[in-house]
Amino acid sequence: MSIIGTRVLRKEDPRFLTGASTYTADLNDPRLNGALHATFVRAFVANGKILEIDSTDALSVPGVEAVLTGADLDLKLPGAVPRFPAEVLNRPLLARDHVRFVGEPYAVVLSETISAGLDAAEMVFADIEPLDAVTDLEDAASDKVIIYDTLGTNTVLTFSDLGLATGITDAAFFADCEVVVKQRVVHPRMSAAPLETRSAAANWTAERLTLFLSSQAAHRVKNTLVRLYNLNPDEVHVIVPDVGGGFGAKVSPTPEDVLIPYLSRFCGRPVRWVETRTENMIAAGPGRAQVHYATLGGSTDGDITHYRLEVLADAGAYTRVGAFLPFFTLPMAPGNYDIANIETQAKSVITNAAPTEAFRGAGRPEATLTIERMFDLFAAATNIDPITLRRKNLIPKEKFPFTTPVGSEYDTGDYATSLDKALAAAEYEKLRTAQSKRRESNDVKQIGIGVINYVEVTAGPAPGGNEFAQVEITPEGKARVYSGALSHGQGHQTTFAMIAAANLGIAIEEIEVIQGDTDQVARGEGTVASRSTQLGGSAIKDAAESVVAAAVQIAAELLEASAADVVLNHDTGVFHVAGTPAVNKTWVDVAAAAEPEQLLADADFNARCTYPFGTHIAVVEVDTQTGGVELKRIITVDDAGTIINPLIVEGQRHGGIAQGVAQALLEEVRFDEDGNPVTSNFADYAIISAAEMPTIELEPMATPTPNNPLGAKGIGESGAIGATPAVQSAVIDALSHLGVRHIDVPMSPQKVWSAIQKALHE
Which residues would be at the binding site for ligand MCN (CB under 6 A)? 245-248, 360, 488-492, 495, 527-533, 640-645, 648-649, 652, 655, 712-717
Compute the distance between CA of residue 490 and CA of residue 493 in angstroms, rounded to an integer.
9
Q: Kindly list the distances between the CA atom of residue 285 and the CA atoms of 48, 57, 106, 125, 356, in Å, as whole numbers in the listed order.
A: 21, 31, 17, 27, 5
Nearer to ligand MCN, 527 or 584 (CB): 527
CA atoms within 13 A on the CB side of 535: 26
Nearer to ligand MCN, 394 or 712 (CB): 712
Compute the distance between CA of residue 657 and CA of residue 216 in angstroms, rounded to an integer.
21
Residue 180 beta carbon to ligand MCN: minimum distance, rounded to whole angstroms: 36
Is residue 461 reached through a cis peptide bond, with omega within 30 degrees of 0 on the bond before it?
Answer: yes
Nearer to ligand MCN, 448 or 655 (CB): 655
Of 284, 79, 259, residue with least CA distance to 195: 284
Compute the distance between CA of residue 551 and CA of residue 557 in angstroms, rounded to an integer.
10
Helices (H), 427-535: 428-440, 492-504
Residue 409 beta carbon to ligand MCN: minimum distance, rounded to whole angstroms: 19
Residue 643 beta carbon to ligand MCN: minimum distance, rounded to whole angstroms: 4
Question: In DSSP terms, which residues pair with 39 in a beta bridge?
Answer: 109
Is residue 130 reached through a cis peptide bond, with omega within 30 degrees of 0 on the bond before it?
Answer: no
Nearer to ligand MCN, 573 or 641 (CB): 641
Nearer to ligand MCN, 528 or 629 (CB): 528
Q: What is the dihedral of CA 658, 660, 663, 665, to 10 degrees?
A: -60
Nearer to ligand MCN, 111 or 527 (CB): 527
Residue 193 beta carbon to ligand MCN: minimum distance, rounded to whole angstroms: 10
Compute the distance between CA of residue 533 and CA of residue 512 in angstroms, rounded to an integer.
17
Whether the CB-CB separation of 684 and 658 falls below 8 Å is answered with: no
Residue 630 beta carbon to ligand MCN: minimum distance, rounded to whole angstroms: 26
Residue 655 beta carbon to ligand MCN: minimum distance, rounded to whole angstroms: 5
Residue 244 beta carbon to ligand MCN: minimum distance, rounded to whole angstroms: 8
Question: Which SS3 state, helix, strand or coil, does residue 436 take?
Answer: helix
Nearer to ligand MCN, 344 or 527 (CB): 527
Residue 645 beta carbon to ligand MCN: minimum distance, rounded to whole angstroms: 4
Nearer to ligand MCN, 386 or 413 (CB): 413
Whether the CB-CB separation of 166 and 342 falls below 8 Å is answered with: yes
Residue 415 beta carbon to ligand MCN: minimum distance, rounded to whole angstroms: 18
Nearer to ligand MCN, 98 or 531 (CB): 531
Q: What is the dihedral of CA 683, 685, 690, 694, to 10 degrees?
A: 130
The 3-state DSSP composition of the chain as helix, strand, coil percent (nearest 5) reads 35, 25, 40
Nearer to ligand MCN, 426 or 723 (CB): 723
Residue 121 beta carbon to ligand MCN: minimum distance, rounded to whole angstroms: 29
Say what angle helices 386-393 and 364-382 make with each other, to 10 degrees.
120
